[in-house]
């Protein structure tokens, strides 16, 4: 192991720990705010459709579904956000995260054919997620079958006595130690210490803002260091996917790359220039994207280790099952598999001819429609 590997690995582990501590801080901040206040705060997402759109907006804003889903896990873990409200928000995060690679495709805007391929490669992820939400969102809302699966999964994991889920596990104790030290450090600052004693709500808001900032910062650094560490493996994986030309191996490669860098946007954004250049077909890039969709769910599972309430694990598992079931519905039958790919290709034909349509698409899909929806549903 050379020095660079040791450095990247150490930083990645440190920031992963810092990420879990940040989730714990968020949980503490929310609890400090008090139930009556948080109930009011989350009233806006009591409508599931509004929750879905809030999930999209938040993710577009922070450009990371991992930040959104981890924050949601923290909120669910602290008991202020119920599973019922959290589920649509996580689904929204799935859609919102696709904006990143769509923006990456704009780098190819100068050459029509290249942009057409790049834009289709990015938007097939959008179409896939939207179609899966259209199918599974109402189905889960009515039958609750994914929620039931997630609850059963939580019970099963708790029954196995997996260390990270135990209240007094070394992992949980280490996270508590870290968050307590940060809290002590914050309280030692006279201004914040005074707020803690005299105005606990302002203190709680400051704590929540710091926690979300820390989640963002730590995840960014985990991704940065893991990507640096895994560059060769990512290239090798893509080489293999290229040689194999899609299929289950490509899904597995997508899962592994995303799992190792903790970001689906990294995986899908890497695919955009590769498809844009024409060396990987949109059809063969599709399973890698689906793999990325599954791989990204691990961040929420990790975040659930930091919270005390088992509902945190349930929402994380819901995210895993939702994304996996989505792939199971769309991928196996070619006719269905071609739907998101062909929709993306058709849109790309239009945007390649009229580039302003691409900008309109991003603005309308990821900002205007969700904003309008939130206003209407409230």
Partner 1 sequence: MSKNSLDNIDAKLSEMLTNSTRVFDISMNALLGDTNLDSVRDDLYDTDKAINELHREVRREMIIHSAVNSRSLDIPLLLSYMTMSKDIERIGDYCKNLFEIAETGNTFAKGDDLDSYIELRNDIGKLIVYLQSCIALDDESKVQDLITLGSSISTDIDKRITALLENKEKIQYPVATTLFFRYLKRIVSHIVNAATALIMPTDQIDYLDE
Q: Which residues bind partner 1 (CB under 8 A)?
A: 1-2, 5, 231-236, 238-239, 242, 270-274, 277, 279
Q: Which is nearer to partner 1, 242 or 358 (CB)?
A: 242
Q: Which is nearer to partner 1, 185 or 278 (CB)?
A: 278
Contact 42, 78 (CB under 8 A): no
Q: Which is nearer to partner 1, 271 or 341 (CB)?
A: 271
Taking the complex as a whole, the smallest distance from the CB of residue 122 to partner 1 amounts, in Å, to 13
Taking the complex as a whole, the smallest distance from the CB of residue 253 to partner 1 amounts, in Å, to 12
Cα end-to-end span (Å), the chain: 55
Report in angstroms the alpha-carbon separations of 205 from 79, 88, 94, 149: 17, 24, 27, 34
178-208 burial, b at 16+ Cβ within 10 Å, e below that, comes to: bbeebbeebeeeeebeebbeeeeeebbbbbb
Taking the complex as a whole, the smallest distance from the CB of residue 238 to partner 1 amounts, in Å, to 5
Count Cβ atoms below 10 Å from residue 7 Cβ, excluding itself. 13
Q: Which is nearer to partner 1, 295 or 370 (CB)?
A: 295
355-359, Cβ contacts within 8 angstroms, sequence gap of 24 or more: 355/109, 355/115, 358/105, 358/106, 358/109, 358/115, 358/119
Taking the complex as a whole, the smallest distance from the CB of residue 377 to partner 1 amounts, in Å, to 39
Q: Which is nearer to partner 1, 159 or 243 (CB)?
A: 243
Helix (H, G, I), strand (E, B) or coil at 38: helix
Taking the complex as a whole, the smallest distance from the CB of residue 92 to partner 1 amounts, in Å, to 28
Q: Which is nearer to partner 1, 270 or 313 (CB)?
A: 270
Q: Which is nearer to partner 1, 237 or 312 (CB)?
A: 237
Determine the Cα–Cα distance for residues 284 and 287; give it in Å rounded to an integer: 6
Determine the Cα–Cα distance for residues 99 and 35; give it in Å rounded to an integer: 34
Nearest CA-CA partner of 77 in 133, 36, 40, 29: 29
Taking the complex as a whole, the smallest distance from the CB of residue 124 to partner 1 amounts, in Å, to 17
Contact 272, 312 (CB under 8 A): no
Determine the Cα–Cα distance for residues 255 and 298; give it in Å rounded to an integer: 10
Taking the complex as a whole, the smallest distance from the CB of residue 236 to partner 1 amounts, in Å, to 6
Taking the complex as a whole, the smallest distance from the CB of residue 247 to partner 1 amounts, in Å, to 18
Q: Which is nearer to partner 1, 275 or 311 (CB)?
A: 275
Determine the Cα–Cα distance for residues 340 and 335; give it in Å rounded to an integer: 10
3-class DSSP string for 166-191: CCCCHHHHHHHHHHHHHHHHHHHCHH
Taking the complex as a whole, the smallest distance from the CB of residue 104 to partner 1 amounts, in Å, to 9
H-helix or E-strand containing 18?
A: helix 3-33
Q: Which is nearer to partner 1, 160 or 232 (CB)?
A: 232
């Amino acid at each position: 192991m050379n020095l660079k590997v040791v450095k990247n690995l150490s930083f990645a582990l440190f920031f992963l720990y810092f990420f879990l501590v940040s989730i714990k801080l968020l949980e503490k901040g929310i609890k400090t705010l008090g139930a009556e206040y948080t109930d009011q705060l989350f009233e806006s997402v009591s409508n599931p459709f509004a929750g879905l759109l809030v999930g999209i907006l938040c993710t577009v804003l922070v450009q990371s579904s991992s930040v959104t889903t981890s924050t949601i896990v923290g909120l669910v873990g602290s008991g202020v956000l119920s599973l019922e409200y959290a589920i649509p928000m996580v689904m929204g995060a799935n859609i919102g995260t696709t904006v990143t690679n769509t923006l990456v495709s704009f780098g190819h805007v100068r050459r029509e054919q290249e942009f057409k391929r790049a834009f289709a490669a990015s938007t097939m992820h959008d179409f896939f997620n939207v179609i899966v939400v259209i199918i599974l969102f109402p189905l889960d809302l009515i039958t609750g079958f994914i929620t039931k699966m997630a609850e059963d999964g939580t019970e099963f994991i708790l029954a196995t006595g997996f260390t990270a889920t135990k209240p007094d596990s070394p992992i949980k104790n280490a996270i508590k130690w870290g968050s307590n030290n940060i809290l002590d450090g914050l309280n030692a600052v006279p201004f914040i210490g005074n707020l803690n004693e005299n105005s606990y709500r302002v203190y709680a808001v400051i704590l929540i803002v710091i926690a979300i900032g820390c989640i963002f910062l730590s995840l960014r650094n985990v991704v940065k260091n893991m990507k640096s560490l895994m560059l060769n493996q990512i290239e090798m994986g893509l080489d293999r996917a290229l040689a194999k030309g899609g299929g289950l191996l490509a899904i597995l490669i997508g899962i592994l790359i995303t799992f190792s860098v903790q970001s689906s946007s990294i995986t899908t954004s890497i695919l955009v220039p590769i498809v844009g250049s024409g060396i990987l077909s949109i059809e063969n890039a599709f399973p890698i994207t689906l793999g990325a969709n599954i791989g990204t769910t691990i961040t929420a599972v990790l975040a659930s280790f930091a919270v005390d309430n088992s509902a945190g694990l349930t929402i994380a598992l819901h995210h895993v099952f939702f994304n996996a079931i989505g792939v199971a519905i769309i991928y196996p039958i070619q006719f269905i598999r071609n739907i998101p790919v062909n929709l993306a290709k058709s849109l790309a034909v239009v945007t390649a001819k009229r580039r302003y349509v691409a900008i309109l698409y991003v603005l309308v899909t990821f900002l205007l429609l969700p904003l309008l929806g939130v206003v209407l549903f409230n």
